[in-house]
A and B are shown apart, each in its own frame.
Chain A
Amino acid sequence: MSSIYVNSKDVFLDIVNAKDYIQLDRVSTIYQALKDSIKKPLKMILLYGRPGTGKSMFLNKLHQDLSASQEVYLYKTPILDESEFFKTLAQDIFNTKYSGELNFTQFMKIVKATEGKEIPVVLLDEAQLYSEALMEKIRLLSDTRTVKFVITLHKTEKEDIIAKEHFQTRIWETIELENASSAELKIYIQKKLMKANYFDSANMFTSKSVSRIHKLTQGNYRDTNKLLYTLFELYSEYEKTHRLASIKTDQVSSKIIEMSAIHTGLINA
């Protein structure tokens, strides 16, 4: 069954895809700043923000945009084993296959051997999962200016300490991603739906209903996506059970918003 609600629901699937990236004024500015920073001879760029603020999407978009013009490598999931990490980098960046254990010293020899090559950009998502020792080695590697790192961190107290103690002196650019405002969220939702050609669904989101959603999600993109996915799922369920007449359809029903929030755990009921 393919109704407007079922199709709209799929728009908000929690998938990081550069194609689904929504240009918002503020985010666009930040993105442009990040692109400019990469062009600069910086050792390291730190991208941080609370979970669900779009860091991963940012990296994906950056990777997509930069890959056409320069050598860029994206690692969405962290490679926690040190040898495996260096082996992966040696193979991807320097085309050097290494059998057996590869330690930092051996990896640095490979890097020196390929000096003079264009500086590649390595994008590391969820960097807070890397061990302190490995992070220290990443810092040392960035000091050689042979590899440029863009790393993303969750903004927590612990991660703030990591940022300060290990990277404060070395990071030249730090970019913080924040939750969307109510107006930004409205644009985000409507753009997302319109991008998939679901204009009727997009029109359902009035400022009042988006404000209600913003109140529940605090403008967090991930939470908003989850909520709206459930919201359209509920609409489709009402439609399926022929009870659509009992709820608002011209605009998003407050009842459905709250029910979605209850289901997703945003409201504790």
Chain B
Amino acid sequence: MLNIVELERRWLRYKIKSYLPHAIITLSVITISLVVLSFLSNDKTVQLTKIAISEKSSIVIDKNKLEVQRPIIQKPLPIIVQPTVEKEQEKQTVVIVPNIIIKPTNTRSQVQLSPSLDFMRKMQNSMQPYYSHENTHVQRAYAPQVEVVKQEQQRVYEELQTDVEDISDIEEVVPVAKKISIKRQNTQNDIFEIIKRFKKNNNPALSLFVAKKYYDLENYQQAYNYALLTNGINEDIESSWIIFSKSLVKLGKKKKAITILKKYIKQSHSNGAKILLDEIRSGKFK
């Protein structure tokens, strides 16, 4: 007698076993298809990314090119600029003082540029066209100074020439960023000259300039006087009020300075004056 229950159980196991390879094959085919599809899609993405990267890299290369080109322009800068300045000076018969005086330092990487006060003359020219008639006088007054500057320029030029010869050997090397500091030439003569001009035309810009110069030279009394004069001519010049207040503080009249600044702030709402007032109050500015 057959055990049907046991036989049915064995048959069920056999059926599962027989369907298992088909199920595995089907699943494998599906999995492989999915993997292939994902691989293909990834491949497309990679290609797109590659394209994007190549586009980006081309941009980078352009930048590099620009960066590489920059030092090449910079290097001969002192050589190219300087002679032109000199040539201009030679052509000009009136004013020889260059716009920029290059003072070489001990190290090759540091060049100090010191502007003259020539811009003041231009400022005057704009206000007083008749000033050009006195060029010969100015030339005479500056003659020895011009000679010194010329000699200085020549020396700087020669030094830079030798420097350039040295640099030409290492043209591809990116030069170290040069530290440039600009110094104003504060001489008593400059101030006197400007005072003279101020007395002639009562230009508040000149009196303000003189006040600033005196302040820089720590002659706070004179700075106070000229700032006061400036304010008298034009009471809307913020920097004049600031120099005026600063000079007062330096002269030990802190309270007066604060009172004046308060009044000025009330009238003009100047931010610069507010900052200075805070600094005086906090003791930051002494």
Give A contacts to B, CB under 8 Å: 230, 233-234, 237-238, 241, 243, 255, 258-259, 262-263, 267, 269
Contact = CB atoms under 8 A, between A and B. Distances in A.
Given A259-B7, A259-B8, A233 B14 contact: no
B18 to A, nearest CB: 9
B281 interface: no
B10 interface: yes
B20 to A, nearest CB: 13
A130 B105 CA distance: 124
Interface in B1-57: 1-2, 4, 7-8, 10-11, 13-15, 17
Contact of A241 (B4, B7, B17): B4
A262 B18 CA distance: 13
Nearest to A233: B2
A259 B11 contact: yes
B11 A269 contact: yes
Contacts of A238: 4
B2 A262 contact: no
24 contacts: A230-B2, A233-B2, A234-B4, A234-B7, A237-B1, A237-B4, A241-B4, A243-B4, A255-B11, A258-B11, A258-B15, A259-B7, A259-B8, A259-B10, A259-B11, A262-B7, A262-B10, A262-B11, A263-B2, A269-B10, A269-B11, A269-B13, A269-B14, A269-B17
Given A269-B10, A269-B14, 8 more contacts: A230-B2, A234-B4, A234-B7, A258-B14, A262-B10, A263-B2, A269-B11, A269-B13
Nearest to A267: B14
Nearest to A268: B14
Contacts of A234: 2, 4, 7
The 10 closest A-B pairs by CB, nearest first: A269-B14, A259-B11, A269-B10, A259-B7, A262-B10, A237-B2, A237-B4, A258-B11, A269-B13, A262-B11
A263 B15 CA distance: 15
A177 B55 CA distance: 79
Nearest to B7: A259
A238 B14 CA distance: 20
Does more than half of chain A's interface fall in helix, strand or loop, or is it mixed? helix
A184 to B, nearest CB: 27
Contacts of B11: 255, 258-259, 262, 269
Contacts of A267: 14
A161 to B, nearest CB: 38
Nearest to A256: B11
A234 B4 CA distance: 7
Contacts of B10: 259, 262, 269
Given A234-B2, A237-B1, A263 B14 contact: no
Nearest to A234: B2
A262 B8 CA distance: 10
A233 B11 CA distance: 16
Nearest to B16: A269
A255 B2 CA distance: 15
A269 B8 CA distance: 11
A230 B11 CA distance: 14
A268 to B, nearest CB: 8
B261 to A, nearest CB: 106
Contacts of B14: 258, 262, 267, 269
A241 B5 CA distance: 11
A259 B6 CA distance: 10
B5 to A, nearest CB: 10
A201 B15 CA distance: 26
Contacts of A259: 7-8, 10-11
A101 B17 CA distance: 60
A248 B105 CA distance: 112
Contacts of A241: 4
A168 B10 CA distance: 48
Contacts of A243: 4
Contacts of B7: 234, 259, 262-263
Contacts of B2: 230, 233-234, 237, 263
A263 B13 CA distance: 13
A218 to B, nearest CB: 18
A243 to B, nearest CB: 8
Nearest to B17: A269
A258 B10 CA distance: 10
A136 to B, nearest CB: 48
Contacts of B15: 258
A267 B13 CA distance: 12
Residue of A233, A238, A241, A259 contacting most chain B CB atoms (<10 Å): A259
